[in-house]
Structure 1
């Protein structure tokens, strides 16, 4: 897009600040459009998925999980990061099964969201799942969460009241509202591609 050239920054150098078990933080030196140099610190992220699981009775699958940075239990849609070399749909299926115990007959890719564009390159793929059947959960070591179901109206009320502040879940609620109203459509299948 040549029209954006006056906004673009040119990367010049990268310094690694932290490479932890989960986080990888870097500092880039960039040339600004006006020719000056500046630094940008941000988190590199492998990508993630979020699943909006639709139960046959119209409710959606949600989780309650303690999030240490927030120091509180949060209500969220099931989600998780991609493993190295893992495709988006495979990750969505794995995370849904591991965290909730549910597997799905049909999947639909909805879209993508970039939750923290000011300080991370993370992109989350949004998936819908239906035709759910419940099996055994297989939580990661040290992972603790409650799985429950709520109506779309309950979900919207929690978003409106501030009981839900997780951005991926807020975006998921927007997608759900538009899909249920018929304003946005999904391409369902047993093996869809993003």
Structure 2
């Protein structure tokens, strides 16, 4: 479809190593002048749902500064532009859980909040797992939880897991497992 928005100008209002924020002067689809804020992510969002042969998965718990609460999530992180999403997924899984996988399946491509950001995420299902040592980043204080996949699914259904990437990965995997 043709883009109904017209961009008159863009101005950078903030920049750090992870994001850039722009202010756009626009003409809206209804032909009115307007303003649009856009958050540009400098990395891909990467998520991994590890699943072992017994139907168990791993969640990572950490305090999320932006929402001011503790969260259980699938292992995830940022993928630099000079790496493929799969390379980043392999690194993140090892860093956060110590796991390495023999089988990788792309579960989904997701836009995390397409109303304010261009962030795109890739989520993988990892199988054929072997346990090793974690390699946490110096900003991470993570708890690792090995639990039945069905419990993680129930946490989504009960509202205990609220991270969008984790929810999408767990729900899609539940559908795939039922097929």
In which range does the TM-score fall when normalised by the shorter chain? Answer: over 0.9
Q: Secondary structure at the match of 1:103?
A: strand
- Indicate conservation of the 8 Å contact 1:55/1:61, yes or no: no
- How much does 1:152 deviate? 2.2
Q: Superposition RMSD on alpha carbons, in Å?
A: 1.4
How far did residue 10 of structure 1 move? Answer: 2.1
Q: Once the two structures are superposed, what CA deviation does each residue of 1:131-153 show, in whole Å capped at 9, x if it has no partner?
A: 01111111111211011112122
Higher strand share: 2
**What CA distance in whole angstroms lies between the structure 2 residues aligned with 1:147 and 1:101?**
10
State the 4+ residue runs in structure 1 displaced beyond 6 angstroms: none
The residue number in structure 2 matching 1:87 is 84
How many angstroms apart in 1 are the aligned matches of 2:5 and 2:91? 37
* Aligned counterpart, 2:26: 30
TM-score by length of 1: 0.86
Cα offset, 1:37, TM superposition: 2.2
Aligned residues: 178
- Structure 2 unaligned runs (5+)? none
Q: Does 1:120 align with 2:117?
A: yes
Q: Structure 1: which 5+ residue stretches go unaligned?
A: 183-194
1:64 CA displacement: 0.6
Show the counterpart of 2:153. Answer: 156
TM-score by length of 2: 0.93
